[in-house]
């Protein structure tokens, strides 16, 4: 997955009138989507686990970095001793092959790293992208030309490859989680910049922005008051869908052995040697895989829900199965939606029929 896909997912240049989505309406629409709510609960649980990692491991009485040579069979190449990869009252999920580090501890600390890196990367990526996009949309022709060209190049550069390459030239002392967040954030802002620019350009041409200019406000004031709130919906939607992608990228980089490096645990990093051990310690493969799958799935579903809540009409075309009934309810609640299409349809001539919209 990549920004290309995200760009296709976030409705691009729909410059008709943005929705009247106040925060309250947003919550009301989000509440009606069962799948999104379940996903939100799962995400909340994951965040809680990540935050409470030290507490949980203290409860178990382990930590993620201590080697337990006594628990692995060095004669058989480092396979954990005991049933099911060394599951016991002391090591709830067994121990890591070869090192004997506690698997439960590594998993919950891994949640910290995976979620933290993804969050930081998303923040950097969105902040950069929105800044560039707004500057391109509001700047003069040259500013726009240059920024758009740079954005094109950033979008064209394959994210994974750039991240890989950048990781090569950074001195080894740099803290890896920070580094990985920075690299992902610095490489992945192209998509959001394009979307922001397109939306801002659309908004800029809306009559109410012209009206604000006629009122005598300065460009800065108009950008802040009339444009930025209109950008909230696409930007939030993008961010919500970008977060799970960033989790997958971090996992991929760590899996390749160039992202998070031991002793810091990360799910992708745990998987990087799991294939060798699948027979002796299947949970060493299954646990991080499952954690990744559930996290990405939950975040994606939540992202879908957020999009639906922010823009029910655009979302209904892209929805992923589950939220259907809820969307219909949300659409109905959003009753006024009809005349919008009708009125924008009436270009040269008279009234668009409201009845068509009802159909």
Partner 1 sequence: MSGFGGFLLRRTLGTVVTLLAISVLVYVVFYATPGNVAQISCGPRCSPAQVHQVAEQLRLGDPLYLRYWHFLEGIVAGQDLSTGTSVAHCSAPCLGVSYQDDQQVTGIILTKLPVSLSLVAGAMVLWLVIGVGTGVLSAWRRGRFTERVLTGLTLAGWATPVFVLGLVLMIVVCGQLQLLPFPQYVGFGEDPEQWAWNLLLPWLSFALVEAAPFARLTRAAMLETLAEDHIRTFRAYGVSERTIVVRHALRGALAPVIALNANNVGSAIGGAVLMESLFGLPGIGQELVHAVKVVDLPVVTGMVLVIGFFVVIANALADVLFAVADRRVVLA
Partner 2 sequence: MSLVDVSGLTVEFGALRAVDGLSFTLEKGAALALVGESGSGKSTVAGALLGLHRGTGARVGGTVRVAGTDVGAASEQELRRLRGAGAAMVFQDPLSSLDPYYAVGDQIAEVLRVHGRISRRAARARAVEVLDRVGIPDAARRARSRPHEFSGGMRQRALIAMSLACSPDLLIADEPTTALDVTVQAQILDLLHTLREETGMGLLLVTHDVGVAAESVDEVLVMRHGRQVEHGPVADVLGRPAHAYTRALLDAVPRLDARRDTSVAGDEVVLEATGLRRRFGRGRRAFDAVDDISLTVRRGETLGVVGESGSGKTTLGRMLVGLLEPTSGTVRHDGRTRTGTDPSVQMVFQDPVSSLNPRRSVGESVADPLRARGEKDERAVRERVTGLLERVGLEAAHYDRYPHEFSGGQRQRVGIARALAAEPRVIVCDEPVSALDVTTQAQVIDLLGELQRELGLALVFIAHDLAVVRQVSDRVLVMRRGRAVESGPADRIYEQPQDPYTRQLLAAVPALDPALAAERRAARREPAVA
Binding residues vs partner 2 (CB under 8 A): 16-20, 22, 206-208, 210-217, 221, 226, 229-230, 332, 336, 339-340, 342-356, 358-359
Residue identified by tokens 């891994």 is 110
CA angle 38, 41, 45 (to 5 degrees): 140
Q: Which does 207 bind (CB under 5 to 8 A by kind): partner 2, partner 1, none?
A: partner 2
DSSP bridge pairs for 73: 79
354 within 8 A of 339, measured Cβ to Cβ: yes
Instruction: Assess contact for 302 and 8: CB atoms under 8 A.
Output: no
Binding mask 307-326 for partner 1 (x = CB under 8 A): ----------xx-xxx----
3-class DSSP state of 102: strand
Taking the least distance from each CB to partner 2, the nearer of 89 and 216 is 216
Q: Which does 276 bind (CB under 5 to 8 A by kind): partner 1, partner 2, none?
A: none
Residue 84 or 297 with smaller CB distance to partner 1: 297
Among 166, 201, 206, 333, binds partner 1 (CB under 8 A): 166
Residues 6+ apart with CB under 8 A from 184: 117, 121, 124, 125, 159, 163, 246, 249, 250
257 belongs to the binding site for partner 1 (CB under 8 A)? yes
Q: Are 311 and 131 in contact (CB under 8 A)?
A: no
Q: Which is nearer to partner 2, 64 or 352 (CB)?
A: 352
Closer CB to partner 1, 230 or 244, in the complex: 244
Q: Which of 49, 135, 274, 310 binds partner 1 (CB under 8 A)?
A: 274
Looking at the DSSP bridge assignments, the partners of residue 102 are 95
**Residue of the chain from 22, 24, 215, 275 that contacts partner 1 (CB under 8 A):** 275
Residues 105-164 that bind partner 1 (CB under 8 A): 149-150, 152-153, 155-162, 164
Question: Counting contacts by CB under 8 A, is residue 169 touching partner 1?
Answer: yes
What distance in Å separates the CA atoms of residue 29 and residue 310, rounded to the nearest whole number? 8
């Amino acid at each position: 997955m990549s920004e290309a896909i995200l760009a296709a997912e976030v409705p691009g240049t729909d410059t008709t009138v943005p929705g009247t989505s106040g925060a309250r309406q947003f919550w009301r629409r989000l509440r009606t989507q069962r799948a999104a709510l379940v996903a939100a609960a799962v995400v909340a649980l994951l965040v809680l686990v990540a935050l409470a990692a030290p507490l949980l491991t203290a409860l178990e009485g382990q930590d993620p970095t201590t080697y337990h040579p006594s628990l692995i069979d060095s004669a058989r190449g480092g396979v954990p001793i005991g049933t099911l990869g060394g599951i016991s009252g002391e090591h709830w999920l067994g121990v890591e092959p070869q090192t004997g580090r506690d698997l439960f501890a590594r998993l919950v600390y891994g949640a910290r790293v995976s979620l933290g890196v993804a969050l930081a990367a998303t923040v950097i990526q969105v902040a950069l992208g929105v800044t560039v996009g707004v500057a391109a949309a509001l700047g003069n022709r040259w500013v726009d030309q240059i920024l758009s060209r740079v954005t094109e190049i950033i979008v064209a550069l394959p994210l994974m490859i750039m991240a890989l390459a950048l990781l090569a030239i950074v001195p080894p002392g740099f803290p890896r989680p920070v580094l990985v967040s920075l690299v992902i954030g610095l490489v992945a802002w192209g998509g959001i910049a394009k979307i922001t620019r397109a939306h801002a350009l659309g908004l800029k041409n809306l009559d109410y922005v012209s009206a604000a200019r006629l009122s005598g406000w300065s460009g800065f004031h108009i950008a802040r008051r009339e444009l930025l709130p209109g950008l909230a919906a696409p930007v939030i939607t993008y961010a919500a869908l970008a977060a799970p992608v960033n989790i997958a990228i971090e996992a991929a980089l760590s899996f390749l052995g160039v992202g998070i490096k031991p002793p810091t645990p990360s799910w992708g990093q745990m998987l990087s040697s799991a294939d060798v051990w699948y027979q002796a310690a299947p949970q060493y493969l299954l646990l991080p895989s499952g954690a990744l799958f559930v996290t990405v799935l939950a975040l994606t579903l939540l992202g879908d829900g957020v999009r639906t809540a922010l823009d029910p009409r655009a979302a209904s075309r892209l929805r992923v199965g589950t939220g259907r009934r809820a969307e219909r309810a949300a659409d109905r609640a959003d009753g006024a939606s009809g005349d919008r299409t009708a009125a924008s349809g009436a270009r040269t001539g008279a009234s668009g029929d409201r009845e068509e919209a009802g159909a």
